[in-house]
Amino acid sequence: MKQSNPIAEPVGQNLIKLISNLCFSVFVFGVLIFTVIAITYKSPDPWLESAPAMTKFFTQSENATFKNDNSILRTGEDLQLSQIAPASAITESSIEKVEEKIASSLELESGCREMTTSPVNCSDPRVLVAVEKFNLRAFKSIAFLEYQTPVSGSRPDECDVAWRFRNKKEKSWRKYRDFRRFKIGIGENCTFKVVHPGGWHSGINARRPKNRYSATTGGATPKISAPIRDDEINDTIPSLGSDVNFRKGRYLYYSRGGDYCKGVNHYLWSILCGLGEARYLNRTFVLDLSMCLSATYSSTNKDEEGKDFRFYFDFEHLKEVASIVEEGEFIRDWKKWNRAHKKKVPVQKVPTYKVSPMQLKRDKSTIIWRQFDAPEPENYWYRVCEGQAERYIQRPWHALWKSKRLMNIVSEISGRMDWDFDAVHVVRGEKAQNKELWPNLDSDTSPDSLVAKLKGMIQPGRNLYVATNEPFYNYFDKLRSYYKVHLLEDYKELWGNTSEWYNETRLLNDGKPVEFDGFMRVAVDTEVLYRAKVRVETFNNLTRDCKDGINTC
């Protein structure tokens, strides 16, 4: 009879225990790694960030106040992927299909004979095909959406063509317009070819007729001509209609608080909180279109009240994606109802931000009126979305875009550089003067340092757009020996008193001219910067200093 080995059983048990302990250790280590990744991972999508994390990214908060970096202005179309409305771009395959149809509908011999005659028949579909092919090769950063039939230029071999487009780096669905003059020649196999393209907006015969409209100033009504008015912009204020419609509505009304006259990043963070709460409560948000421009952006270095929201933001887009009513319309209808009816409109006044959105979820009052009368920082709108509320309120980043009128200027500047340019963002101003927080910034962004550093990053001879808060225009002259330098000030006619922007903002401002202020300059600089092929940043590439000061990298 075989005797059992008394040592074998403990060895087997020990081996099993060792394996189980090893597996458990691997499991614990995996959980630890996952936890570290989850904590340190920075999502590129603001929707997936916590409110504190997003606050730090977007505005950099400290003690419930904001430290603004005023050299960059981010809005919804920059921070996240927007829901782009379907618009089929013209591609090589779609052009080939058109060519096949043209070939089958034309007799080859007679078609070639017609092409040799002068002048060029610009309405011939083969001319448009030639232009479409050329544009796809020349402007790879542009999505071409639709073309108009070419028209004759100033010479027999010239055609003017207009089209709508969208820059591929812009995440919104907005369309822009260009029209250029092309010199047309004869290609192979009965085709046309582009011999020479014109510059941005050179095809003046293909542009829309000039719009003429009145603007009142000083009691007179002179005619103002807008060269290329964007008739797609709808800035009209929606009306509630009858008082019955007003009474059926449910509204969230924020009275003016400490956010008024603060920096733009503070303003955005607060108004997005209000819009987010209105969505959560399924209510219409009452929007005050009258803004206060912070002294940071004004030429007078003082806060300036009475600025129209529509100067800076896309009101048409906001109307489409959010339920809003303009404050003036809202108050007029509110007073009108109360005068006409004995039973007043039910109002729930909320005196403090500490009353959370969750507590108001079941309130049936027609108007929830949040009042911000406490001293700062207790009277900031964004305080409503702090604490537990941040789990329920999602700020609708996609709702706030930059004004289409400002974006038209962006497209004009980019188009004049034929969409083929690089850019450098040079932050100076107060930061360069503050040696305690930024000891190297001034010297690292000196003209000699810029030349030395950019020569290793950007090829000589390129179009170089300089986005900067440096007030002296000639500061970047040394770069002109190496690059074709462009500054925002080089394009000041785009907001001058004969421009489309000037005429249209003047209409919004009761006929009074609107200043192209620092807010607008930063917005345009930001968007041109984003469209560059190579982008050089101050705090990532040019200086050893940290963006938020010493020891904050």
pLDDT digits (tens, 9 = 90+) for 265-322: 899 999 999 999 999 999 999 999 999 999 989 989 999 999 999 999 999 999 999 9
Q: Which CATH number fits domain 404-542: 3.30.450, 3.30.70, 3.40.50, 3.10.450?
A: 3.40.50
The mean-pLDDT minimum among 25-39, 86-100, 417-431, 433-447 falls in 25-39
**pLDDT tens digits along 153-212:** 999 999 999 999 999 888 788 899 999 999 999 887 778 999 999 999 999 999 876 554
Which secondary structure element, helix H or strand E, spans residue 185, and what is its range? strand 176-186
321 in Cβ contact with 76 (< 8 Å): no
pTM: 0.82
Distances (CA, A) of 539 to 393, 438, 526, 547: 33, 11, 15, 6
The phi, psi pair for 238, rounded to 5°, reads -70, 145
Distances (CA, A) of 89 to 17, 95, 102, 199, 340: 64, 11, 20, 22, 54
532 in Cβ contact with 414 (< 8 Å): no
**pLDDT tens digits along 363-373:** 999 999 999 99
Q: Which residues pair with 437 in a beta bridge?
A: none
Q: What residue ranges of the chain are covered by domains with CATH 3.40.50?
A: 404-542
What's the one-letter identity of residue 204?
I
Q: Which of 421, 423, 405 is nearest to 500 (CA)?
A: 405
Q: Which of 172, 141, 174, 175 is nearest to 79 (CA)?
A: 172
Percent of residues, the chain, with pLDDT higher than 70: 81
Please indicate whether residue 441 or residue 111 has the higher confidence score (pLDDT): 441
